[in-house]
Amino acid sequence: MRILIVAGARPNFMKVAPIMRALQQYQRNVQLRLVHTGQHYDDAMSGSFFRDLGMPEPDVNLEVGSGSHAQQTATIMQRLEPVLLEFAPQLVIVVGDVNSTLAAALTAKKLNIRVAHVEAGLRSFDMTMPEEINRLCTDAIADDLFTTDRLADANLIRQGVPADHIYFVGNVMIDSLLACCNIAASAAYPKRVGLESRKYATLTLHRPSNVESAEKFEELLGALAEVATNIPIVFPVHPRTRQRIKDFGLQPFFVDRPGQTGIWMTNPLGYVEFLSLNASARLALTDSGGIQEETTILGVPCVTLRENTERPITITEGTNHLGGTSRNSILEAVTVALNRPEGDHRIPEKWDGKAAQRIAEIIVGRL
């Protein structure tokens, strides 16, 4: 069986790594090819993740780079089509909700190739999010839908997906997290930059709705600067966010040294370094999807700087609090998060490090 797996942007790599490892155990039956679309290309956004996660070099890199959503999606489709025609896989696996996910699913399906979507069924019900559009469209055409929780199954059923196309397998992102926890602990990034365990908060911000408007971004930073008077904040900055800080003249919000009262910016961190930073944090502040899940497993309180989440299980079972994006709602959520009793969360069902193995068994079992 020829299987082609597609990765494109930072949050894809930790999902693809365990699936590849699980499928490689079936080498006698499976010929696997990894395509990197090149949506992310900086070493800090891509190469370092491949190294940290022990991933092989991609067999093909489409080198699409940055562009508008239409440009990026269309270029991936144009460049992936000949690769699919040449390799003629029986299955294309896509993960997550980035532009590469939708572009690859659409290209494969139009060639009548079976498509598997890993992390299917998540819904924020917010159609202004590019990822929600990617999730909806990918799920509408995928043949095998692998889900992380039972609410995702229900979302898919409501959307008309036949039940026998849906497989609740757990969370492949957590497979990577559990596999790398020990290496992350020994990486000891916080110690290296002089941060004391549980005496700082982490911050990530890159959603267009938060950082593309000067007014909104400034309001957010104002609220976060207030939080940082109590607990210093470490902020590894996405390249686009860094550009906006410059464009909007927001540099005065930041301090020079880690651990100093205030918000300290640093370059994007690799997978293992960021995991070690988050694992020892007192609090995580984020608008990322994956970090809501990771902090649930790490037991670190998280405040999500958004009005909604496609991952409500991280609130009902995990350590996540929806903080919204206005000053008052953020400060309120931070207080609640900092006061939550330790250990007051559950590990969601099947977030046990074995999700990729379940996926591989289902795929290979069909042979």
Q: What does the binding site for ligand UD1 look like in residue numbers (CB under 6 A)?
A: 9-11, 39-42, 45-46, 66, 98-99, 130-131, 206, 238-240
Least CB distance from residue 164 to ligand UD1, whole Å?
29
Least CB distance from residue 206 to ligand UD1, whole Å?
5
Least CB distance from residue 289 to ligand UD1, whole Å?
7
Q: Report, as residue numbers or ranges, the catalytic residues.
A: 206
The nearer residue to ligand UD1, 40 or 350, going by C-beta atoms, is 40
The nearer residue to ligand UD1, 305 or 363, going by C-beta atoms, is 305
The nearer residue to ligand UD1, 130 or 299, going by C-beta atoms, is 130
In angstroms, the first-to-last Cα distance of the chain is: 8
241's tokens: 């966010």
The nearer residue to ligand UD1, 42 or 226, going by C-beta atoms, is 42
DSSP string, 28-49: TT-EEEEEE--SS-SIIIIIHH
Question: Is residue 276 classed as helix, strand or coil in its secondary structure?
Answer: helix
**Using a CB cutoff of 8 Å and minimum separation of 24, what contacts does 39-42 make?**
39/8, 39/9, 39/64, 39/65, 39/66, 39/72, 39/76, 39/98, 39/99, 39/100, 40/8, 40/9, 40/10, 41/65, 42/239, 42/268
The nearer residue to ligand UD1, 306 or 321, going by C-beta atoms, is 306
> CA torsion, points 190, 209, 9, 238, in degrees to nearest 10?
-40
Least CB distance from residue 23 to ligand UD1, whole Å?
24
Least CB distance from residue 249 to ligand UD1, whole Å?
18
Q: Is 86 exposed, middle or buried (0-12, 13-18, 19+ CB in 10 A)?
A: exposed
**AA letter at 16:** V
d(CA 58, CA 17) in angstroms, rounded, equals: 11
- Alpha helices, DSSP H only, in 111-213? 130-141, 150-158, 172-187, 189-192, 208-211
